[in-house]
Amino acid sequence: MSGIVFERVSHAFDGRRVVDSVSLELTERRVGIVGANGSGKSTLARMINGLVEPDSGRVLVDGLDVATQGREVRRRVGFVFTNADTQIVMPTVREDVAFTLRRHRLPRAEADGRVDAALARFGLTELADRPAHRLSGGQKQLLALASVLVGHPAVVVADEPTTLLDARNARRVARHLAALDEQLVVVSHQLELLEDFDRIIVMDGGRVVCDDVPAAALPRYRAIIDADDADETDAGRDAGPDAVERTGR
Ligand SMILES: Nc1ncnc2c1ncn2[C@@H]1O[C@H](COP(=O)(O)OP(=O)(O)O)[C@@H](O)[C@H]1O
Ligand SMILES: [Mg+2]
């Protein structure tokens, strides 16, 4: 069975339910998740590769239970964070990309070939020996994509992957995401990124309040935001716990 399944999944932080009995079967190639800050999007997305374990319910990826088969799941699911610094783990660009393959036990030549291909695909060949932390924000996010894709995941989950980027780099990253063959789950406030997706999940207060094609779901989300407009919110700025958590890579 392929796809991502949430079976009555709930999760609370400090006694407050932030994901509330969500059931979904995501088999479409490109799925967007939208919702106001704090609506539970990141928590939901993180459950797909076990970065967050649900208090109740089950999450399955291609029939594998994330709770009990986490290692297999993490090999299938690549996760792209808002803040690319979160997922840089090695000193140089090339080493960082190669790090993903450390458990794949590939012959050296094959591993090198895959790293070279990933670097080339994301325009990083020239930067291969640079210190990863010195890259620009846009380059770091391309490195994050290269480091995820080199593992040949079946699913790529990206949590606000363009939020911290300037418009030009956001477009560049969006173009790369749009070109992926893998199943893609993207959390974003940049709705133009999601307009040609197959399916949009709208979250509000930890629940799925709309689940439809973009032409129906995105206007619904805009209506929710407009209704909330009196509130503070700085939509799109919630790097939140991403900045401190490890990557699951
Ligand atoms: N690690 C955590 N510890 C405590 N509270 C958290 C943690 N992660 C998220 N939350 C809270 O859970 C709620 C949902 O967060 P999140 O899933 O990040 O929402 P979104 O991604 O939609 O902004 C928010 O109120 C947030 O503050
Ligand atoms: Mg979030």
**Distance in Å, CA 69 to ligand 2 centroid:** 25
Q: What is the pTM of this model?
A: 0.91
Best mutation site among 42, 48, 53 for ligand 1, i.e. most ligand atoms within 8 A of its Cβ? 42
Residue 51: nearest ligand to its CA?
1
Q: Is 240 in the pocket of ligand 1 (CB under 6 A)?
A: yes
Provide the β-strand partners of residue 79: 157
pLDDT in tens, 6-34: 999 999 999 999 999 999 999 999 999 99
Q: Is the pLDDT of residue 56 over 90?
A: yes
The pLDDT value recorded for residue 246 is 47
pLDDT in tens, 189-221: 999 999 999 999 999 999 999 999 999 999 999
Highest mean pLDDT among 123-127, 235-239, 244-248: 123-127
Return the ligand 1 atom nearest residue 52 CA: 1
| Token duo for residue 1 | 């069975």
Whole-number percent of the chain with pLDDT over 70 = 92
Q: Is 42 in the pocket of ligand 1 (CB under 6 A)?
A: yes
Q: Is 13 in the pocket of ligand 1 (CB under 6 A)?
A: yes
Q: Which residues fall within 8 angstroms of residue 165, CB to CB, at 6 or more apart?
A: 137, 138, 141, 173
The pLDDT value recorded for residue 196 is 94
| Token duo for residue 239 | 């790097």
Q: Which residues fall within 8 angstroms of residue 105, CB to CB, at 6 or more apart?
A: none
Task: Say how far apart CA 243 and CA 111 lie, in whole Å.
Answer: 29
Q: Which residue has the higher pLDDT, 239 or 248?
A: 248
Give residue 144's pLDDT band: very low, low, confident or very high (50, 70, 90). Answer: very high
pLDDT in tens, 70-107: 999 999 999 999 999 999 999 999 999 999 999 889 99
The pLDDT value recorded for residue 103 is 85
Task: Say how far apart CA 145 and CA 8 lie, in whole Å.
Answer: 31
Q: Is the pLDDT of residue 239 over 70?
A: no
CATH numbers and ranges of domains, the chain: 4-243 (3.40.50.300)
**Distance in Å, CA 29 to ligand 2 centroid:** 21
The pLDDT value recorded for residue 2 is 85
Q: Is 3 helix (H, G, I), strand (E, B) or coil?
A: coil
Task: Say how far apart CA 16 and CA 225 lie, in whole Å.
Answer: 22
Task: Say how far apart CA 99 and CA 179 lie, in whole Å.
Answer: 24
**Distance in Å, CA 39 to ligand 1 centroid:** 8
Helix H or strand E encompassing 176? helix 167-178
Burial of 73 (0-12, 13-18, 19+ CB in 10 A): buried
Contact 150, 102 (CB under 8 A): no
- Categorise residue 24: left if φ over 0, alpha if ψ from -120 to 50, beta otherwise: beta
Cα dist. 75→2, 62, 151, 153, 164 in Å? 15, 12, 7, 6, 26
Contact 11, 17 (CB under 8 A): yes
Task: Say how far apart CA 249 and CA 246 lie, in whole Å.
Answer: 8
Give residue 229's pLDDT band: very low, low, confident or very high (50, 70, 90). Answer: confident
Mean pLDDT, the chain, integer: 92
pLDDT (mean) for 166-176:
94
Report the side by side order of strands in the sheet with 64-65. 16-26, 4-13, 56-61, 64-65
